Amino acid sequence: MASATAAADEIARFDELAATWWDETGPMRPLHRINPPRLEFVRDKLARHFGRDIRAARPFAGLTLLDIGCAAGLLSEPMARLGFAVTGIDASANLIEAARHHAETMGLAIDYRCAMPEDFTGQFDAVVALEVVEHVADVEAFLGAVGGLAKPGGAVLASTLNRTLKSLLLAKIGAEYVLRWLPRGTHDWKKFIRPSQLAGAMRAVGIQPVDFEGLRYDVAHDRWVRDANLDINYMVYGLRG
């Protein structure tokens, strides 16, 4: 599938992992472990933006959310449970099939489609792209497509990896070759992007960054937590102008 943003080698790599995506002890275990604080960040920023009470049963009822690079649905499913009408898109047909199957078993109505953002149409109250920026072929084209899919004044959220020496040592070499948390070749450190660069690219396509927040692995408690340090993993919340 030709695209200005998707990289064929990245699609093929994730295609091979589709069958094990929901296995919390399999190759995607690190993604399952890092997911709770990412979900909290997305939920909290969207609750503040839309003036919703997260204590409600379905606080985001009546709102639409697009999950770009949804994979097998680790974000899409909890967002649907919180009341969003969720659409999930991914360049991997195998992952979309895995997402549809899992949502059906969970009794969730999520609109999953195999598509790239630049080929997709529609506008959403919130657009989310977690752990996607570091895998695309063209960051500027990708962000331009993301911005076009958010309604004016809509929320845009993303998470990615900073390009620092610390991220090279820990997120690339440590995670893939020493601890073997991730399959080798999962990330290309040269594709990691600094927060300042991401902020500039967002502004260039009409998305105003509002808040950045980091993610840190808490060794003592064996869990990921939200943190002010952006040196390795970080998240951003912005608004489309």
Tell me how far apart the alpha carbons of residues 69 and 88 are, in angstroms, rounded to a whole number: 7
State the pTM of this model.
0.91
Tell me how far apart the alpha carbons of residues 215 and 227 are, in angstroms, rounded to a whole number: 5
Tell me how far apart the alpha carbons of residues 156 and 177 are, in angstroms, rounded to a whole number: 33
Specify the CATH architecture of the domain 8-240: 3-Layer(aba) Sandwich (3.40)
Tell me how far apart the alpha carbons of residues 128 and 220 are, in angstroms, rounded to a whole number: 30
Query: Quick one: CA torsion of 224, 227, 229, 231, rounded to 10 degrees?
Result: 20
Q: Domain residues of the chain, as ranges?
A: 8-240
**Count of C-beta atoms within a 10 Å radius of residue 43:** 17
Report in angstroms the alpha-carbon separations of 32 from 61, 155, 202, 216.
25, 24, 27, 15
pLDDT per residue of the chain (241 residues) written in tens, 0 to 9? 335 677 777 788 788 889 999 999 998 888 899 999 999 999 999 999 999 999 999 999 999 999 999 999 999 999 999 999 999 999 999 999 999 999 999 999 999 999 999 999 999 999 999 999 998 989 999 999 999 999 999 999 999 999 998 877 776 676 665 656 666 767 787 889 999 999 999 999 999 999 999 999 998 998 999 999 999 999 999 999 9
Alpha-carbon torsion (92, 26, 182, 78), positive or negative: positive
Tell me how far apart the alpha carbons of residues 110 and 73 are, in angstroms, rounded to a whole number: 9
